[in-house]
Amino acid sequence: MRLLQLLFVCIVPSVLYAQPARTTLLAPHLHSLRLMVNGNAEQFPVIPLDGTDRLEVSFDDLTHAYRRYTYSITHCDWQGNPTDALFESDYVDAVADREVIDDYRPSINTSVQYLHYHFALPNGHMRPLLSGNYLLTVYADNDDGDPEPVVKTYFGVVDTQVGIEASCTTNTEVDWNDSHQQLSLKLNMGGLVLRDAESEVKTIVMQNRRYDTAVCGAAPTAQSGNTLLWEHDRRLLFKAGNEYRKMEMLSTRYPGMHGESMRWFEPYFHYTLQPDAPRKNYLYDEDRDGRWFVRASGAAQSDHEADYVLTHFTLDMLPQTGRKVYIDGNWTHSDLRERYLMHYNHDAQCYEASLLLKLGYYNYQYLCVDSDRPGILQTAPIEGDYYQTENEYNMLVYYRSTAGRYWQLVACRTLRTARE
C-alpha cells in the first residue's frame, strides 16, 4: 500500500470516538456516500478554517424517487461528543438550522435507477466558524413530515497552529523487520500555552483510516518546553498488514481487473470476481490504501452515469470456527453489520459475499473478528502482517486550554510509508 467512517477500540476502552470520515449509514437505500475535498477522493476530509477548500458530500438514493433531504452540522469535541459549551451561532454561520440539498440528478442509461445528491461546505447558506470536529447529519422527511436522520458522518476544520514531525520504523518495541510498524511523533506547539499538556493536548493516529486500530489520546512520553514527544511508545505500534487487494469494473459489457465474468440476471448485472485465497507472504502491489473511485467507461459524468452491479466475492478458505470474516475498505465505513459479512458455502467450500456496488475501482481486504474479541478486526489470519507494507498514517492534533470552551483541531498530517 502507498503511503478520519461509530465504535472502535482505542487505548481508552469503552469510549465512543468520532473524527473526520467516520460514517454511519442509517437507511439501506442510500449507497456510495463520499466525502471529498475539492473533488479529490484521496485527500483526508479536513478543510482549513477560512480557506478556499470545500468539502464535497454526495450519495445515491436507489429508490429513484425524489426525497427532500436536509443537512446540519454540529461542533464536537475531540471524542465526537457535541460541544455543550457553545451555542450554534458560535460555530456556524447559517441561514437556517437545516439546509435543503437541492443539487440532485437522476441516473442516465443505468439498469439500477437512482438519484445522485450532492452539496458542498462551506456555501452561501452554511459556513463553519471554528476549527474542530464536526458532525454532519443528513435528514429525510418521514411520512409525518418530520426530519429523520439517515446519514451521520464527520469532517474536520483545521486551524493549523502546530507543527508535526513524524517517522515510521520497522525496528519496533516488539520485533525487528517482522510484522509491525511503529510511529514516532514530535509536536511543536508554537505559541499555544501549555500548563498541563496531558489534559490540554489530544492526538488521534490512524492507519489507512481504520477506526478499530486507531490510537486515541495517548499522553506524550516526554516534554521539552512547547515540544511534545512520542518515542518508543508501544501505543503507537501498529500491525503492518499487507497491501490491499484491488478490483475494477468500468462497464457492464465486459469484466475488468480481477474479474471473471459480467452477466445479466434479472434485475441486476452480476460481476463475479476471481477467487481469492489467504496470503502466505508479503505481496507488493500498487494499491490506494483502501480507497475507491467511481468510474465508468465512456461516461462524461460517472457520478450519475455509472451503473450498479451485484458483485460476488469468493474467498477460498476452510471454515473458521469462532471467527467471522468481513470485507473491508474505506468504502465499507468499518461496518461490521450483515452487509459486509461473508458466509461459508459448504458445498463450494469457500466464503462468499455479494454486494451491490457502483462501477469503479475498489481496494479491499479480508478481516477476521474472533467471537472472544468482538470489534477487533485482524489482518493476520488472511492477509498477514508484513513490515514491508506501504501504509498511510493520519495524525490529528486537538488543543483546549484550561479555560477554553471547545477543542480546536490545530494540526493534521498524513504520512505514507515507503518500501525499503
**pLDDT band for position 18 (50/70/90)?**
low
Question: Above 80 in pLDDT, residue 368?
Answer: yes
Report which residue type is found at 147: P
Write out the CATH class of domain 245-370.
Answer: mainly beta
Q: Among candidates 392, 305, 290, which has minimal Cα distance to 110?
A: 305
What's the mean pLDDT in 233-250? 97
What confidence tens digit (pLDDT) does each residue in 149-188 have? Answer: 999 999 999 999 999 999 999 999 899 999 999 999 999 9
User: Can you give the length of the chain in residues?
Assistant: 420
Q: Which residues contact 144 (CB under 8 A, 6 or more apart)?
A: none
Domain 163-241+389-416 has CATH 2.30.38.10: no
Are 300 and 340 contacting, i.e. CB atoms less than 8 angstroms apart? no
What confidence tens digit (pLDDT) does each residue in 100-116 have? Answer: 999 999 999 999 999 99
Q: Among candidates 200, 240, 242, 253, which has minimal Cα distance to 223?
A: 200
% helix, strand, coil for the chain, step of 5: 5, 45, 50
Could you tell me where in the chain the CATH 2.60.40.10 domains are found?
A: 163-241+389-416
What confidence tens digit (pLDDT) does each residue in 136-150 have? Answer: 999 998 878 789 999
What's the mean pLDDT in 386-392? 97
Q: Which residue has the higher pLDDT, 14 or 286?
A: 286
What confidence tens digit (pLDDT) does each residue in 308-342 have? Answer: 999 999 999 999 999 999 999 999 987 777 899 99
How far apart are alpha carbons 77 and 86 in whole angstroms? 11
User: Residue 305: left (phi > 0), alpha (psi -120 to 50), or beta?
Assistant: alpha
Lowest mean pLDDT: which of 14-28, 34-48, 321-335? 14-28
Report which residue type is found at 191: G
Any idea which architecture 23-158 has in CATH?
Sandwich (2.60)
pTM: 0.92
The pLDDT assigned to 20 comes to 67
Q: Which residue has the higher pLDDT, 366 or 17?
A: 366
What confidence tens digit (pLDDT) does each residue in 54-99 have? Answer: 999 999 999 989 999 999 999 999 999 999 999 999 999 999 999 9
